[in-house]
């Protein structure tokens, strides 16, 4: 359903030119499928089934709202006659079409990203708000305004031409990056990962690279995803508990996927200007090429983060730079850099600030303060494996202090 829904939504939006109504119609079709398929069996062509049900929902809506408009009534009758054969016709992947359509020229980049995460990625408003570091109510308003802006703009929903795709590519790549990240570490819930989202992010990025094979930042993003996702089997234990990078069994890392990511990166880097996704992929490659945690080339990682900081004002980049600085120059340097981030309202209350501070305090030998910040971080995250891990670190330090 996660794979089919954005494809069907793209199809319905392109036919009816009404994003809001199309999203409602596809949601109703999905609910009907969840109710009927377990009872009657999955149809031979589930995509066509969902599309036909969504078409009927749209037909009913338009008939109710536009009985006085003959032109729209004729459009409804024509759409209702669409056959399964035409639905199976070879066209661009509808999820990718929807992705570019959502990155609409009438929208600001932040609104386009939010709308695409909702429509293509299947993320909840709360998950998108967490990714943007804004309140959920703010994000809900942003998504609602984005739909309304598209509706009144008059710009058609279609796959943009090559020039338009170039203008929207930055937003598209950011969307894919956030979809993958939500899959790799879920914002909330009982599981650390949402593998379906990670796979969808990789799949859509591969498609984008086929569309623009000369673009080195798409290649860099795909390399970053592959190099990061290669560690997935080692990130959790038998009970889905989180295992940090330094403690992972590196024999479980997917070496074929690492080789694919490094090959993509090696081909992209010599071609021209280097962007942030290529730099992040290079950092991931340094981690993946280390056979043991102590073999990690932290000075190289620190240098790459220095370059990345010049390109990006992302507070998460600055936070990761802080960790790299601590690994090279000691925890005191990391803590000093972390203090400078306290004034950044985008991240000041994020659980990772407390988690990183706890880690650096533990490195510095201050177990009591470290345990306090581990507990503080645990209280701010709603991902259960992450919360359990942080509480276990606090308990471990508390036990050590009691024994000493």
Q: Which of 22, 172, 175, 7 is nearest to 95 (CA)?
A: 7
pLDDT for 93:
64
Q: For residues 152 and 143, give the distance between their C-alpha atoms in angstroms, rounded to a whole number.
A: 15
What is the pLDDT confidence band of residue 185, given thresholds at 50, 70 and 90? Answer: very high
Report yes or no: 20 and 13 within 8 Å, Cβ to Cβ.
no
Is 65's pLDDT higher than 90? no
- Between 32-41, 163-172, 309-318, 390-399, the lowest mean confidence (pLDDT) is in 163-172
Give pLDDT tens digits for 342-364.
888 889 899 999 999 999 999 99
The residue among 106 and 239 whose pLDDT is bigger is 239
Q: What is the mean pLDDT of residues 260-289?
A: 95
DSSP 244-256: -GGGS-GGGS-HH
Is 89's pLDDT higher than 70? no
- Strand pairing report for 382-383 and 188-189: parallel
pLDDT for 308:
95
- Between 5-14, 61-70, 177-186, 377-386, the lowest mean confidence (pLDDT) is in 61-70
Give pLDDT tens digits for 102-157.
888 788 877 888 888 888 877 888 888 887 778 899 999 999 998 888 888 877 76
What integer best gives the mean pLDDT of the chain? 88
Q: Considering Cα of 345, then 347, then 351, then 355, what sign does the dihedral take? A: negative
pLDDT for 77:
53
pLDDT for 83:
42
Report yes or no: 50 and 30 within 8 Å, Cβ to Cβ.
yes
pLDDT for 247:
96
Question: Which secondary-structure segment (H or E) carries 331?
Answer: helix 331-340
Is 91's pLDDT higher than 50? no
pLDDT for 66:
61
Question: Which secondary-structure segment (H or E) carries 382?
Answer: strand 382-383
Q: Which 3 state secondary structure label does DSSP give 383?
A: strand
Is 285's pLDDT higher than 90? yes
Question: Which secondary-structure segment (H or E) carries 188?
Answer: strand 188-189
Give pLDDT tens digits for 367-398.
999 999 999 999 999 899 999 999 999 999 99
Most confident by average pLDDT, 3-7, 280-284, 348-352: 280-284
pTM over 0.85: no
Sequence-separated (6 or more) residues with CB below 8 Å from residue 277: 173, 177, 217, 220, 221, 223, 224
Topology, domain 301-404: 1.25.40
β partners of residue 236: 242
The residue among 110 and 40 whose pLDDT is bigger is 40
Sequence-separated (6 or more) residues with CB below 8 Å from residue 67: 73
Q: Which of 313, 257, 318, 307 is nearest to 279 (CA)?
A: 307
pLDDT for 84:
44
Sequence-separated (6 or more) residues with CB below 8 Å from residue 97: 10, 14, 91, 158, 159
Q: What is the mean pLDDT of residues 63-88?
A: 53
What is the pLDDT confidence band of residue 70, given thresholds at 50, 70 and 90? Answer: low
């Amino acid at each position: 359903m996660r794979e089919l829904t954005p494809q069907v939504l793209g199809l319905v939006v392109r036919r009816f030119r009404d994003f809001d109504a199309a999203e409602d119609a596809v949601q109703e079709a999905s609910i009907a499928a969840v109710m009927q398929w377990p009872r009657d069996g999955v149809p031979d062509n589930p995509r066509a089934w969902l599309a036909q049900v969504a078409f009927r929902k749209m037909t009913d809506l338009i008939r109710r709202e536009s009985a006085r408009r003959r032109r729209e009534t004729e459009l409804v009758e024509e759409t209702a006659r669409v056959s399964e054969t035409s639905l199976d016709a070879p066209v661009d992947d509808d999820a990718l079409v929807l992705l570019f359509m959502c990155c609409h020229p009438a929208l600001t980049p932040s609104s386009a990203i939010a709308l695409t995460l909702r429509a293509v990625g299947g993320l909840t408003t709360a998950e998108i708000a967490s990714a943007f570091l804004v309140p959920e109510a703010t994000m809900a308003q942003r998504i609602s305004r984005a739909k309304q802006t598209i509706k009144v703009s008059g710009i058609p929903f279609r796959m943009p031409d090559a020039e338009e795709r170039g203008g929207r590519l930055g937003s598209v790549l950011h969307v894919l990056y956030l979809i993958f990240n939500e899959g790799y570490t879920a914002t909330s819930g009982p599981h650390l990962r949402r593998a379906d989202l990670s796979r969808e992010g990789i799949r859509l990025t591969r498609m984008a690279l086929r569309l623009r094979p000369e673009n080195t930042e798409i290649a860099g993003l795909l390399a970053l995803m592959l190099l990061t996702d290669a560690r997935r089997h080692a990130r959790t234990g038998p009970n889905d508990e989180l295992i940090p990078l330094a403690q992972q069994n590196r024999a479980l890392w997917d070496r074929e996927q690492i080789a694919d990511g490094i090959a993509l990166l090696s081909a992209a880097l010599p071609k021209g200007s280097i962007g942030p996704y290529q730099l992040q992929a290079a950092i991931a490659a340094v981690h993946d090429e280390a056979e043991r945690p102590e073999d990690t080339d932290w000075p190289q990682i620190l240098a790459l983060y220095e370059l990345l900081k010049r390109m990006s004002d992302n507070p998460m980049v600055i936070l990761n730079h802080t960790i790299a600085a601590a690994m090279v120059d000691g925890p005191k340097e990391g803590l000093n850099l972390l203090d400078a981030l306290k004034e950044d309202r985008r991240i000041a209350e994020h659980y990772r600030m407390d988690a990183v501070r706890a880690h650096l305090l533990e490195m510095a030998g201050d177990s009591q303060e470290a345990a306090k910040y581990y507990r503080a971080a645990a209280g701010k995250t709603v991902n259960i494996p992450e919360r359990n891990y942080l509480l276990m670190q606090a308990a471990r330090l508390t036990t050590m202090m009691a024994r000493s």
